[in-house]
Amino acid sequence: MAKTTSPGILSFNDPNTVAHAFKTRLQTGEIMLGGMIMECIRPCISNIYKQAGYDFIYVETEHTMFDGSALADFLLGCRGNGIPTICKIPILNRAYVARYLDNGACGIQLPRTESREQVTELVDYMKFPPIGSRAAAPCFGNVDYCAPNDPTAWLDSCNRSTIVVAHVETRKGYKNAKEIITTPGLDMLYIGPYDFSVSMGQPGNYDHPDLSKPMQDILTLCLEYKVPFGTTASGPDAGRRWIEQGCQFFEVVDELSLISRGAFEAVRQYRM
């Protein structure tokens, strides 16, 4: 429990411990598995992922539409469960970044990352001065609705804990991989294999050499510059191969796929 000096004022008890723990695990080389959320933004999903042993939850907001209050409640539920959340924003936009972070997300993932300039802009939106230009709002889910009484310590903690994720999924992103990976402030790099496979002329063929070779090139750069690399593997066997090569995190599966597989399997057992 947080110690308080007066109602609603923390005697600085860092509200960023979930994000700090996640970044520490990344930095020590742990393999991190993410459960994905596409549409069913209910607290029960975060509970299930937590009990199953997932290390973080990836929230898809580029292709789906969530009610704002429902997403805020979900992010709070994840914080309460001690499981970090990374939100993929629809576009590189200050308002989206601020809303997700202020409501309790630990990290932001930028789709179609293709340049150092994009990552630099994302870092600027995510970090408080003097590193960036994020507006301070220590009164929402990001502080569990209990404002810290040490603003300097809180701002510094936020800057150290927020997770900046580049999402490479195009030929241009591949071409500019080194400048993306070496951008100051980048914490993780994810390759979106479906759009990357489309861009490389092999739609949906995650394990084709035209896709796996560029991904390996990017992984090699990530290892050289000590930026954790992640992707979504075609299956467990491919995942193990990526781990052997140095891949550190995965966006494993989404709730819609799990529901679909379970539904089809239940019917199949009755129709045998």
pLDDT on residue 70: 92
Tell me whether strands 249-254 and 107-110 are parallel, antiparallel or unpaired. Answer: unpaired
In this structure, what token pair is assigned to residue 28? Answer: 């020590």
Q: For the domain made up of 4-266, give the CATH fold.
A: TIM Barrel (3.20.20)
**Cα–Cα distance measured from residue 42 to residue 71, given in angstroms and rounded to the nearest whole number:** 9
**Cα–Cα distance measured from residue 249 to residue 228, given in angstroms and rounded to the nearest whole number:** 7
pLDDT on residue 65: 85
**Strand (E) positions, the chain?**
4-6, 9-10, 32-37, 56-60, 85-88, 107-110, 147-148, 163-168, 188-191, 229-231, 249-254
Dihedral sign, Cα of residue 204, residue 206, residue 209, residue 215: positive
Note the pLDDT tens digit of each residue in 191-230: 999 999 999 999 999 999 999 999 999 999 999 999 999 9
Phi, psi (degrees; rounded to nearest 5) at 127: -110, 145
- Which of these, 7, 9, 6, lies nearest to 143 by C-alpha position? 9
In this structure, what token pair is assigned to residue 201? Answer: 């002329």
Where on the phi/psi map is residue 8: left (φ > 0), alpha (ψ -120 to 50), or beta?
left
Type of residue found at 36: M
pLDDT on residue 12: 58
Are 187 and 164 contacting, i.e. CB atoms less than 8 angstroms apart? yes
Mean pLDDT by 10 residues, the chain (272 residues): 42 84 95 96 93 96 88 93 95 96 97 98 98 94 90 95 98 98 98 96 93 96 98 95 97 95 95 86
pLDDT on residue 6: 43
Note the pLDDT tens digit of each residue in 179-194: 999 999 999 999 999 9
**Cα–Cα distance measured from residue 144 to residue 138, given in angstroms and rounded to the nearest whole number:** 9
Are 35 and 49 contacting, i.e. CB atoms less than 8 angstroms apart? yes
In this structure, what token pair is assigned to residue 143? Answer: 């502080």
pLDDT on residue 9: 45
pTM over 0.85: yes
Average pLDDT over the chain, rounded to an integer: 93
Are 33 and 250 contacting, i.e. CB atoms less than 8 angstroms apart? yes
- Which of these, 227, 195, 188, lies nearest to 211 by C-alpha position? 195
- Which of these, 190, 185, 170, 95, lies nearest to 135 by C-alpha position? 95
**Cα–Cα distance measured from residue 235 to residue 102, given in angstroms and rounded to the nearest whole number:** 35
**Helix and strand element counts for the chain (H, E):** 12, 11
**Cα–Cα distance measured from residue 124 to residue 136, given in angstroms and rounded to the nearest whole number:** 13
